[in-house]
Amino acid sequence: MKHQIVIIGAGTAGITVAAQLLLKDKNLDVAIIDAAQKHYYQAAWTLVGAGTYNYKDTERNMGDLIPKGVQWIQEYVEEVNPDNNEVVLRDGTKVSYDYLVACPGVKYDYKQIEGLEETMNKNQVCSNYVDPDYTWQCLQEFKGGNAIFTQPATPIKCGGAPQKIMYLADDYWRKQGVREQSHILFITPGGVIFGVEPFKSTLMKVVERKGLQLRFFHRIKKIDGENKRVYFDIVKEYDKLSGICYNYRDTEKEEVVEGNVMIEFDMLHLAPPQAAPDFIQRSKIAVQEGPTRGWIDVNINTLKHNTYSNVFALGDAAALPTAKTGAAVRKQAPVVVENLFHAIANDGKLNNDYQGYSSCPLVTGYGKMLLAEFNYEGERDSDPILSKIFDTSKELYPMWILKKYGLPFMYWNMMLKGRA
């Protein structure tokens, strides 16, 4: 089996690139490989987990979204062999290509946290990344105690998601009258709540207003779901625990011994550790050494592979030093598409315009959101038109409307059709 352009993954990146390619030239021979029957708008799962969005509304049949004119190969990828210009499927079929676009997304690597696989989606251990309906169930069943929100030390998609559900949970529990009996803790391996100003300052005001406790430099290592205990290693030297925390208060249900922390929880929400799919990690298109080992090795501005000139990558599996979001894909896709056409024409040109744009719609409560947009330099990179109307670094109701209604509409009706 041979195709001019083979795309691995029919997620946000794969479908957007396929749609844009065929809008420019409907005669291209494009195939997309993905075994999934359903496609999800995962950006709304934060709202599902807070009871303000229906999970079914985030789901579509994959077959309805694959652009007409694209051959959909419904199978899993087993190997990528760039030296032979071929992809090997799980059933043994070899698919040859002239050009490869790799955008397979990430896998959840539960084994990186001891006990996570056994307790995920039970024992009040939940994740909006995995089952937002169960998160909503946990929020409703919570009657006070320790509510812990955390994230792993790996890169994760939508880096703001672990804290967004915390802000919504605080709102919900205040309405239910259980907030007074609760400790809410955000425990992170990082050293800040958010890395870009002025969004960081706004979020710290939210944390202060809500009375949330932040604990920094804590890496989650083990969950004992049955006994409702979670264990962390402190990854920075410290004199006293309060020195690496904000709003520190002892929960009276914890032990700290030489940089190891155990806390009892009544609810635990986490983002699972994430990695590139196994077939990417063991392939030659992955970075072979260093801190980005296992992610796809592409130029950060052109999204062209650093070794194989007919390979491109975008989306969550690419080794790009920016946040893994759908908004990033929206800016990456046109660069990949243009560079594919340059490669086909063999004209020596290259679009190097991608500067690391990503955005994180940070919901801070029901009816409140700020829109953090930034680039590789960690600088604010807000949309110039939107910024003339709104200060997107503030908590605004119009931004909430954008999140709940505007962005889903744009996703299904424009982005996945190659028009945004």
How many separate domains does the chain show? Answer: 2
Does residue 170 belong to any structural domain of this protein?
Answer: yes
| 44 in the same domain as 67 | yes
Contact between 68 and 81 (Cβ < 8 Å):
no
**What is the bridge-based pairing of β-strands 213-215 and 311-313?**
unpaired
Q: At what angle do helices 161-176 and 199-210 cross, to 10 degrees?
A: 30
| 76 in the same domain as 50 | yes
Does residue 69 belong to any structural domain of this protein?
Answer: yes
Residue at token pair 């997620």: 11
Residue at token pair 């040859």: 96
The confidence score (pLDDT) of residue 385 equals 84
Q: Which residues contact 102 (CB under 8 A, 6 or more apart)?
A: 8, 9, 80, 280, 285, 296, 311, 312, 313, 317, 318
Q: What CATH number is attached to the domain comprising 156?
A: 3.50.50.60
The confidence score (pLDDT) of residue 83 equals 98
Does residue 150 belong to any structural domain of this protein?
Answer: yes
Q: Identify the domain boundary among 239, 257, 273.
A: 273
Does residue 165 belong to any structural domain of this protein?
Answer: yes
CA 34/CA 24 separation, integer angstroms: 23
CA 32/CA 147 separation, integer angstroms: 42
| 118 in the same domain as 267 | yes
The confidence score (pLDDT) of residue 258 equals 87
The confidence score (pLDDT) of residue 387 equals 80
| 118 in the same domain as 100 | no
Residues in the chain with pLDDT < 70? none
H/E stretch holding 281: helix 278-281
| 206 in the same domain as 296 | no
The confidence score (pLDDT) of residue 384 equals 84
Residue at token pair 């690496």: 244
| 294 in the same domain as 230 | no
35-73 exposure pattern, b = at least 16 Cβ within 10 A, e = fewer: eeeebebbbbbbbbbbbbbebeebeeebeebbbeebebb
**CB burial of residue 373 (10 Å; 0-12, 13-18, 19+):** buried
Q: Please give the single-letter amino acid code of residue 191.
A: G
Coil vs helix vs strand at 286: strand
Q: Identify the domain boundary among 332, 352, 372.
A: 352
The confidence score (pLDDT) of residue 388 equals 85
The confidence score (pLDDT) of residue 372 equals 96
Q: Identify the domain boundary among 308, 337, 352.
A: 352
CA 267/CA 221 separation, integer angstroms: 17
242-251 exposure pattern, b = at least 16 Cβ within 10 A, e = fewer: eebbbbeeee
| 243 in the same domain as 317 | no
Dihedral sign (CA 301, 304, 308, 312): positive
Does residue 25 belong to any structural domain of this protein?
Answer: yes
Of the candidates 419, 416, 420, the residue with the CA atom closest to the CA atom of residue 13: 416
| 268 in the same domain as 120 | yes
Cα 351 to chain centroid, rounded: 25
CA 148/CA 272 separation, integer angstroms: 14
Does residue 402 belong to any structural domain of this protein?
Answer: no
CA 25/CA 18 separation, integer angstroms: 11
Coil vs helix vs strand at 155: coil
Contact between 284 and 73 (Cβ < 8 Å):
no
Against a cut of 0.85, is the pTM above it?
yes
Angstrom CA distances, 373 to 155, 327, 360, 384, 400, stand at 18, 9, 6, 11, 15
Q: State which residues form the domain around 70.
A: 2-106+276-352
Q: Looking at the annotation, which residues are catalytic? A: 158, 360
